[in-house]
Amino acid sequence: MKRGDILIRDVRHIHRGTPNRTNEPRPMVVLGYSRRWLFRPEVQIRVAREVLEQVPARTRQWLRFNPVFNTLEEAQKDKELYRSFAY
């Protein structure tokens, strides 16, 4: 793949990254989608109540199965589960 390319795949696809042989971080964006009836507790976004109250109603509906915390600090205390997620 070239810089700027995207890959659309099924989550069951076997994949791995290539070694980062530099001292520079190599960030990437991962957007996951599943049907709303497929509840995946291992893939969550930790949401602060103060943020949830400011987003549109449709966004609140999308986030309804994610854990909600009283403060932003509390929501950021632990890392998101998706980072440590494995099959």
pTM of the model: 0.44
Under 8 Å between Cβ of 47 and 68: yes
Reported as a single tens digit per residue, the pLDDT across 18-64 is 788 899 887 777 776 666 666 666 667 788 899 899 999 999 988 88
Q: What is the pLDDT of residue 34?
A: 67
* Cβ atoms of residues 58 and 36 within 8 Å: no
Contact between 52 and 75 (Cβ < 8 Å):
no
How many whole angstroms separate alpha carbon 52 and alpha carbon 80? 17
- Looking at residue 71, its pLDDT comes to 87
How far is Cα 86 from Cα 42, in angstroms, rounded to an integer? 9
* pLDDT band, residue 79 (cuts 50/70/90): low
How do the domains of the chain map onto residue ranges?
A: 47-84
